[in-house]
Chains A and B, each alone.
Chain A
């Protein structure tokens, strides 16, 4: 049991980092639709750089730069040229994915450096909890930090509130003296860098090595998890762990029930859709009106200005 939980948390770590990144970007009102491509290109770049430099850390830095650069293109074309974020994101998805396959061809089958395990002394000796939470490597600890910091930033800091204001009603934020487009640009870049880090985590930590199908569909899944998680860091993280759990279960059941193992990883989606139906029902609305806490916990609403362009006149 504790081993299974340990595997789930480790398996979900890149997904957690990526979904936190995308949540930050989308809270500011920008959609980075390129995750599927960004992830693949940064996984490849991360592996390549780590392979040549002989050090995993260099790979992570390079991957973060790749993710940030793609995100910067989306933010800049939207802000400066008023291009549609969805269209640009989609084109970049295709472009980055193809580029990764093309440039990474010679790396397939190579073995590179990996992120070393780093059990936390004392804490990892706690029975059960130690094994589940503290017997991991830096990537996993970074994923914990990502959840905590994202949550804290959204709900407990001034800049986090401003960030949400920018995504909700940019004219309102602007009227209060907030630099809407500057914030949007940098939060998009930050989110993109986190996607890049997730990419490197797949090729240097989870799977070790590069091949074209390494991160197949995970970018799209991350986008879906952000939506179904209602842009709330804790619920998004829950979604990522749920997906991780099903992946691990599928892997463990592969030999016993091969059919079930194939279906399991898509099981969260019908569940998520049911959850949405529930949250939007009038029945839930009535409960929410009476118990605001319940509403805050389950209610999910897209940032109202998501995907739009803000200009002052």
Chain B
């Protein structure tokens, strides 16, 4: 079995998302598709899985040219795709998610389906509660459910689009083991990522895509500098972090209890000093988000005291928090941070301190141009927020942080960003630290936590499990702590 992609072209308006892509992948191979954000990886994979129709070009499997008009066609020949955001149905049960869309008689035989789910998931080493709701699964479990379903439907070519976004370190290890096992069983596994380390760790061959074109192809291993150069067209060096002397406490929590309906933090004591960067580690939903939202004023503590610069904020609203210089950047950039449909200029006007009734649009546009320049945002003042790529959305959010911020709360500040954007984001964030702000960020990326934090707070099961100075810990120990164990 061999999969051949021949000269695929696909454009969206003026954007050539795929501009003549050809790739050949053999049986049993774990092939990496590497490229910066916006390179055209997802588009290519959606064409392979029938989600999009290509403008021209062909997909050939086992020497046969495929007609891929819809995902149904792709599934029928054994091509299955796990989308960047697993396309599960959140209010439905695991079992219903498993059978939805599968062929069979009119009457749905759920007990038979349950047996099948159990059989296939056991083969793959997963275990599910068929009656649980998909909403209550972690992203990693949703992926496992999708993998199980696709294998059950007879997939021979499996496409994983950025599967490590949003899953925990432990789940990533499990996912990689699964991908290796699938390839060993003779499947073709396409692993799409913009993260170099992951491709290095996992894949046995790689294709690099840049601006819709294949720029490099080779069996692994390949020198990482070479891959970076191919991805970006230039070598990129990360900035070293300058040490900053810590000042007095900015944020103070005294036996704060808070509940967001899912996780409950109990009697938490915590202090953040001026100029300090605190990283929050832990599996998703262990309490990091609850803490951030309580500090931001989005959740009201049920007990204890919360203050910033000595001002008691325990029962103060979100607006009150903003007024004393608390700023929160949530993970859902487009859901909570930016407003779809309104432009870069309009965003900047919304957050400006200009209180005049009429907006000076000329001035605002000029200001937006300056910001775009300063933050190297790829877009125009009139670009709506959703037209920007993830990295550029994050840059815009950075530009919207007020000058006089005292406490900066960030959730996954570089999730889904390419290396260059991530480094840029951190460079800007660390500048705030020099001005005496405290930065608290949650991240699922150990490397990021270890690189940028002064102190790391590890959450497990809804409480603080451990606190470590970054200098005295390492990735291995964090891995244990996140899993709720001390290093043995």
A: residues with CB less than 8 A from B are 156-162, 164-165, 168-169, 171-179, 282, 285, 292, 301, 304, 312-313
Q: Does B107 contact A172, Cβ atoms closer than 8 Å? A: no
User: Taking A161-B99, A175-B83, A176-B100 as contacts, is the C-beta distance between A312 and B52 under 8 angstroms?
Assistant: yes
Q: Which residues of A contact B100 (CB under 8 A)?
A: 161-162, 165, 173, 176
Main secondary structure of the interface of B (DSSP, over half): loop
User: Taking A171-B87, A175-B87, A312-B52 as contacts, is the C-beta distance between A161 and B71 under 8 angstroms?
Assistant: no
User: Taking A164-B92, A313-B12 as contacts, is the C-beta distance between A177 and B106 under 8 angstroms?
Assistant: no
* Distance of B453 from chain A, by nearest CB (Å): 34
Can you name 21 A-B pairs with beta carbons within 8 Å? A157-B107, A157-B108, A158-B99, A164-B92, A168-B90, A169-B88, A169-B89, A171-B87, A172-B87, A173-B100, A174-B71, A175-B49, A176-B71, A176-B101, A176-B102, A177-B76, A178-B72, A178-B101, A285-B261, A304-B90, A313-B52
Flag whether B81 is at the interface (Cβ < 8 A). Answer: yes
Q: Which residues of A contact B73 (CB under 8 A)?
A: 177
Q: Does B51 contact A312, Cβ atoms closer than 8 Å? A: yes
Q: Which residues of A contact B425 (CB under 8 A)?
A: none
* Distance of B167 from chain A, by nearest CB (Å): 19
Interface centre among B81, B83, B101 (most CB of A within 10 A): B101
Mask: chain B, 48-84; 1 = CB below 8 Å from A; 0 = not: 0101100000000000000000111101100001010
Flag whether B402 is at the interface (Cβ < 8 A). Answer: no
CA distance A304 to B99 in the complex (A): 19
User: Taking A159-B106, A168-B91, A173-B100 as contacts, is the C-beta distance between A282 and B83 under 8 angstroms?
Assistant: no
CA distance A162 to B75 in the complex (A): 16
Contact of B108 among A156, A169, A179 (CB under 8 A): A156
Flag whether B310 is at the interface (Cβ < 8 A). Answer: no
Contact of A175 among B51, B76, B96, B106 (CB under 8 A): B51
Q: Which residues of B contact A164 (CB under 8 A)?
A: 89, 92
Q: Which residues of A contact B52 (CB under 8 A)?
A: 312-313
CA distance A179 to B52 in the complex (A): 14
User: Taking A158-B108, A159-B106 as contacts, is the C-beta distance between A165 and B91 under 8 angstroms?
Assistant: no
CA distance A26 to B60 in the complex (A): 40
Q: Does B72 contact A177, Cβ atoms closer than 8 Å? A: yes
Q: Which residues of A contact B87 (CB under 8 A)?
A: 169, 171-172, 175-176
Q: Which residues of B contact A162 (CB under 8 A)?
A: 100-101
Interface centre among B83, B100, B102, B261 (most CB of A within 10 A): B100
* Distance of A161 from chain B, by nearest CB (Å): 5
* Distance of A149 from chain B, by nearest CB (Å): 12
User: Taking A174-B71, A176-B100 as contacts, is the C-beta distance between A158 and B91 under 8 angstroms?
Assistant: no
Mask: chain B, 120-139; 1 = CB below 8 Å from A; 0 = not: 00000000000101000000
CA distance A276 to B403 in the complex (A): 44
Flag whether B104 is at the interface (Cβ < 8 A). Answer: yes
Q: Does A173 contact B101, Cβ atoms closer than 8 Å? A: yes
Q: Does A175 contact B92, Cβ atoms closer than 8 Å? A: no
Given contacts A161-B100, A164-B92, A177-B75, 12 further A-B contacts (CB under 8 A): A157-B108, A159-B106, A165-B92, A168-B92, A169-B88, A175-B49, A175-B81, A176-B75, A176-B87, A177-B70, A304-B90, A313-B12
CA distance A158 to B112 in the complex (A): 13
User: Taking A172-B87, A175-B83 as contacts, is the C-beta distance between A158 and B104 under 8 angstroms?
Assistant: yes
User: Taking A165-B89, A168-B89, A168-B92 as contacts, is the C-beta distance between A174 and B104 under 8 angstroms?
Assistant: no
Q: Does B261 contact A282, Cβ atoms closer than 8 Å? A: yes
Mask: chain B, 96-118; 1 = CB below 8 Å from A; 0 = not: 10011110111110000000000
Q: Which residues of B contact A178 (CB under 8 A)?
A: 72, 101
CA distance A312 to B53 in the complex (A): 10
Main secondary structure of the interface of A (DSSP, over half): helix
CA distance A160 to B87 in the complex (A): 19
Q: Which residues of A contact B90 (CB under 8 A)?
A: 168-169, 304
* Distance of A81 from chain B, by nearest CB (Å): 20
CA distance A110 to B71 in the complex (A): 56
Interface centre among A169, A176, A292 (most CB of B within 10 A): A176
6 tightest Cβ-Cβ pairs between the two chains A and B: A176-B101, A177-B72, A172-B87, A158-B108, A165-B100, A177-B71
User: Taking A171-B87, A174-B51, A177-B71 as contacts, is the C-beta distance between A156 and B101 under 8 angstroms?
Assistant: no
Q: Does A172 contact B75, Cβ atoms closer than 8 Å? A: no
Interface centre among A161, A282, A312 (most CB of B within 10 A): A161
Q: Which residues of A contact B92 (CB under 8 A)?
A: 164-165, 168
CA distance A304 to B91 in the complex (A): 9
CA distance A171 to B90 in the complex (A): 13
CA distance A178 to B87 in the complex (A): 13
CA distance A269 to B81 in the complex (A): 46
CA distance A307 to B91 in the complex (A): 18
CA distance A282 to B299 in the complex (A): 14
Q: Which residues of A contact B106 (CB under 8 A)?
A: 157-159
* Distance of B308 from chain A, by nearest CB (Å): 28
The residue of chain B having its C-beta at the shortest distance from the C-beta of A313 within the complex is B52
User: Taking A175-B81, A176-B101 as contacts, is the C-beta distance between A161 and B96 under 8 angstroms?
Assistant: yes
CA distance A137 to B49 in the complex (A): 52
CA distance A285 to B105 in the complex (A): 35
Contact of A158 among B51, B105, B261 (CB under 8 A): B105
CA distance A156 to B105 in the complex (A): 11
Q: Which residues of A contact B108 (CB under 8 A)?
A: 156-158, 160-161
Q: Which residues of B contact A175 (CB under 8 A)?
A: 49, 51, 71, 81, 83, 87
CA distance A168 to B108 in the complex (A): 19
Interface centre among A177, A292, A304 (most CB of B within 10 A): A177
Q: Which residues of A contact B71 (CB under 8 A)?
A: 174-177
Q: Which residues of A contact B133 (CB under 8 A)?
A: 292
* Distance of B139 from chain A, by nearest CB (Å): 15
CA distance A282 to B262 in the complex (A): 10
Q: Which residues of A contact B75 (CB under 8 A)?
A: 176-177
The residue of chain A having its C-beta at the shortest distance from the C-beta of B93 within the complex is A292
* Distance of B93 from chain A, by nearest CB (Å): 9
Q: Does B261 contact A165, Cβ atoms closer than 8 Å? A: no
* Distance of A114 from chain B, by nearest CB (Å): 36
Q: Which residues of B contact A313 (CB under 8 A)?
A: 12, 52
Q: Which residues of A contact B99 (CB under 8 A)?
A: 158, 161
The residue of chain A having its C-beta at the shortest distance from the C-beta of B82 within the complex is A175
Q: Which residues of A contact B88 (CB under 8 A)?
A: 169, 172
Q: Does B101 contact A177, Cβ atoms closer than 8 Å? A: yes
* Distance of B313 from chain A, by nearest CB (Å): 23
CA distance A69 to B73 in the complex (A): 32
User: Taking A157-B106, A282-B261 as contacts, is the C-beta distance between A172 and B89 under 8 angstroms?
Assistant: yes
CA distance A160 to B96 in the complex (A): 11
* Distance of A154 from chain B, by nearest CB (Å): 11
* Distance of B38 from chain A, by nearest CB (Å): 16
The residue of chain A having its C-beta at the shortest distance from the C-beta of B110 within the complex is A156
Q: Which residues of A contact B72 (CB under 8 A)?
A: 177-178
* Distance of A309 from chain B, by nearest CB (Å): 15
Q: Which residues of A contact B49 (CB under 8 A)?
A: 175
CA distance A165 to B104 in the complex (A): 16
Interface centre among B75, B91, B104 (most CB of A within 10 A): B91
